[in-house]
Amino acid sequence: MIDLYTWTTPNGRKVSILLEELGADYTAHAVDIGKGDQFAPDFLKIAPNNRIPAIVDRETGLSLMESGAIMLYLAQKHGRFLPAGDDYWACVEWLMWQMGGLGPMLGQTHHFVKYNKGKAPYAEDRYATEARRLYGVLDRRLEGREFITGDYSIADMASWPWISRFEWQEIDLGDFPNVRDWYLRIADRPAVQKGYQVPKYVNEVPMP
């Protein structure tokens, strides 16, 4: 049994989607980051960086923060969604790309382009440009591929929830047809539809 501490954001949804895909036994605990729950002393014991998501594996007692580490742990534990051979490193490579690039840069895009429009034109332009660059990188990677690395893997599950905010990023998925097709392919999965609504319903999965 896994305790998942999460909220209705891309980093949280990555893990709830993976848990749903694995058919794992888990309980979701809502950490309302709008209300400051991420600073509660009990939460900081398992997530010292005061960010969601975090997990506790009741079977082993292990606690983990950082969505990339959590995804690697769960995929390894279940022996699924982490390919073997050369694809293993491709999967880790693209997971790290999401963790170090796509997630943080799109997070800044949300901050400046969606929530603070007009306040900092330089930053708005910088992150809007970077968002388009990253979509281009993903679009080229997906040329001739159904998924980022061979079969559907944690590399896809890590990036997909960030792309699901394409409207916030003012991105027209029509400009990135490989990303659009990949996005729709994954959106069609029942586990993705279910994991998206954890820890609570906010909206339907956005459709281009």
Ligand X SMILES: N[C@@H](CCC(=O)N[C@@H](CS)C(=O)NCC(=O)O)C(=O)O
- Contact residues toward ligand X (CB under 6 A) are 9-11, 33, 38, 50-53, 66-68, 99
Q: How far apart are CA 96 and CA 135, in angstroms?
A: 16
Q: Which is nearer to ligand X, 14 or 180 (CB)?
A: 14
Q: How far apart are CA 196 and CA 55, in angstroms?
A: 17
Q: Quote the least distance from Cβ 116 to ligand X, whole Å.
A: 15
Q: Quote the least distance from Cβ 15 to ligand X, whole Å.
A: 8
Q: How far apart are CA 99 and CA 85, in angstroms?
A: 22
Q: Quote the least distance from Cβ 107 to ligand X, whole Å.
A: 7
Q: Which is nearer to ligand X, 22 or 54 (CB)?
A: 54
Q: Which is nearer to ligand X, 16 or 67 (CB)?
A: 67
Q: Quote the least distance from Cβ 174 to ligand X, whole Å.
A: 26
Q: Quote the least distance from Cβ 48 to ligand X, whole Å.
A: 12
Q: Which is nearer to ligand X, 96 or 184 (CB)?
A: 96
Q: Which is nearer to ligand X, 99 or 198 (CB)?
A: 99
What does the block give as tokens for 168? 């916030």
User: In this structure, is the dihedral angle defined by the CA atoms of residues 192, 82, 140 and 111, taken in order, positive or negative?
Assistant: positive
Long-range contacts of 71-76 (CB under 8 A, 24+ apart): 71/14, 71/15, 71/18, 71/95, 71/154, 71/157, 71/158, 72/154, 74/2, 74/15, 74/18, 74/19, 74/22, 74/24, 75/18, 75/153, 75/154
